[in-house]
Copies of this chain bind each other. A is one copy, B any other.
Amino acid sequence: MNNFTYSIPTVIHFGKGQISHLAELKRSGDRVLLVYGGGSVKKSGLFDAAVKILTDAGISVTELPGVEPNPRIESVRRGAELCKENKIDMVLAVGGGSAIDCAKVVAAGACYDGDPWDLVLDGSKIKAALPVYSVLTLSATGSEMDEFAVISDLSKNEKWGTGSDLIKPVMSVLDPCYTFTVPAKQTAAGTADMMSHTFENYFTNVKGADLQGSLCEAVLKTCIKYGPIALREPENYDARANLMWAGSLAINGLLSYGSEVGWCVHPMEHELSAFYDITHGEGLAILTPVWMHFVLKKDPSKTAQLAAYGRNVWGLTGEDSEAAEQAVNKTAEFFFETMKMPANLRAVGITEKTHFEEMAAKAAAGCGGSFVPLTKEDIVSIFEMAF
């Protein structure tokens, strides 16, 4: 097991009716920037409910609406300006990971003199940030409880993750009821996203991180049990609750402390999203089984770990090589049949291979130190297999 420092300061108010805790933002000041995406939080009444609690608590609200599904640097710049102009005290995201990621970099940008894109390229430049709060409406990225934010500059086909302890949310409200209206496509993509976070931590070369591995399996089994139930019964509270909490635990540090390795599927997917603006979770689902197959082929010494995944998560038996192969198939079946997700790149509108070389070259920077280090050529092969 590796050395680590555990620090998860975010307070989570989980469950029905917990939005009343928004009144506690008053501790951070009198002026909030409310960051949100499309009209769904308005349609659902959540927006009005949040604004009422805030104004009743004596907090004045400035709005940053229209944050994109892959949040863009332009929104961040606009938000940081709003903070400076209106002497904002804290930033509250109401929405999914996109709104929260945007809010995090806005909160840092508000305390930074240069262009917020600098902070996306280099998280260590974040030296201060306004307090960040969130009300989560989509179980997926885990941004509500972690230090990360992913921002895109589509003018450059770039999508990068940044991170800092300073942008960890102070408090997040997780009410599973807010996810009842999440459409099937986003429910599936969110489930794939949290499973991918878990896989990135689970397949590690660190020895002796057994507890972390078993915790990963717990999260994976929960996703596999409740993802399909949430698709069939969108208002099943326990399904939505288990997925919501699994999404937070998948990336808040619990699964990685002591076992962390370099991620690989995420860097590859970020290139797909940066070039084609596809749904992140769908890109991850498409790449994950292909990546697993490739790993088994490139480095057969990983067979035992894939087999253990098959046994402990899918209940498979048999020899390592068979269990490993079946585990990959089970994963693909889960995403593409059970969760009804698009199974290849063409199915999400990537109909030509023009950018494979360029995307692979960029992703290779992220995949060089992963479970099985991948070269640019390896990644081109994976994109080809996923096509």
Q: Contact check: which of B2, B13, B219, B258 meets A211 at CB < 8 Å?
A: B219
Cβ–Cβ < 8 Å partners of A6 in chain B: 10-12, 14
**Proximity string of chain A (1-28) to chain B, C-beta cutoff 8 Å, 1 when within and 0 when not:** 1111111111111111110000000000
Cβ–Cβ < 8 Å partners of A5 in chain B: 11-14
CA of A116 to CA of B374, assembled, Å = 60
Interface size counted on chain A using CB atoms at 8 A: 42
Q: Is the CB of A238 within 8 A of B14?
A: no
Q: Is the CB of B14 within 8 A of A241?
A: no
Residue A237 is within 8 A (CB to CB) of chain B in the complex: yes
Cβ–Cβ < 8 Å partners of A254 in chain B: 254
Min CB distance, A10 to chain B, in Å?
Answer: 8
Cβ–Cβ < 8 Å partners of A222 in chain B: 210-211, 214
Cβ–Cβ < 8 Å partners of A365 in chain B: none
Q: Contact check: which of B218, B237, B258 meets A214 at CB < 8 Å?
A: B218
Residue A296 is within 8 A (CB to CB) of chain B in the complex: no
| A15-B8 contact, Cβ under 8 Å, with A211-B246, A215-B218, A226-B210 | no
- Among residues of B, the one whose C-beta sits closest to the C-beta of A219 is B211
- Among residues of B, the one whose C-beta sits closest to the C-beta of A207 is B238
Cβ–Cβ < 8 Å partners of A246 in chain B: 211
- Among residues of B, the one whose C-beta sits closest to the C-beta of A145 is B6
Cβ–Cβ < 8 Å partners of A11 in chain B: 5-7
Q: Is the CB of A14 within 8 A of B7?
A: no
Cβ–Cβ < 8 Å partners of A1 in chain B: 15, 176, 237-238, 241-242, 245
Min CB distance, A175 to chain B, in Å?
Answer: 9
CA of A221 to CA of B216, assembled, Å = 13
| CB under 8 Å from chain B, chain A span 181-236 | 207-208, 210-211, 214-215, 217-219, 221-222, 225-226
| A208-B237 contact, Cβ under 8 Å, with A5-B14, A6-B14, A257-B14 | yes
CA of A218 to CA of B202, assembled, Å = 13
- Among residues of B, the one whose C-beta sits closest to the C-beta of A212 is B245
- Among residues of B, the one whose C-beta sits closest to the C-beta of A220 is B214
| CB under 8 Å from chain B, chain A span 66-111 | none
CA of A9 to CA of B12, assembled, Å = 12
Residue A363 is within 8 A (CB to CB) of chain B in the complex: no
Residue A249 is within 8 A (CB to CB) of chain B in the complex: yes
* Most chain B beta carbons < 10 A, residue from A10, A207, A221: A221
Min CB distance, A337 to chain B, in Å?
Answer: 22
CA of A90 to CA of B125, assembled, Å = 33
* Most chain B beta carbons < 10 A, residue from A6, A176, A258: A6
- Among residues of B, the one whose C-beta sits closest to the C-beta of A222 is B211
Cβ–Cβ < 8 Å partners of A245 in chain B: 1, 211, 258
| CB under 8 Å from chain B, chain A span 329-358 | none
Q: Contact check: which of B218, B225, B226, B257 meets A217 at CB < 8 Å?
A: B218
A-B contact pairs, 12 of them (CB 8 A): A1-B176, A1-B237, A1-B238, A1-B245, A3-B17, A4-B12, A5-B11, A14-B257, A208-B242, A210-B226, A211-B245, A241-B258
Q: A4-B12, A211-B246, A241-B258 are in contact. List 19 more A-B contacts (CB 8 A).
A: A1-B241, A3-B15, A4-B14, A5-B11, A5-B12, A5-B14, A6-B12, A7-B11, A207-B238, A208-B237, A208-B241, A210-B222, A210-B226, A214-B217, A214-B218, A214-B221, A215-B215, A217-B218, A218-B218
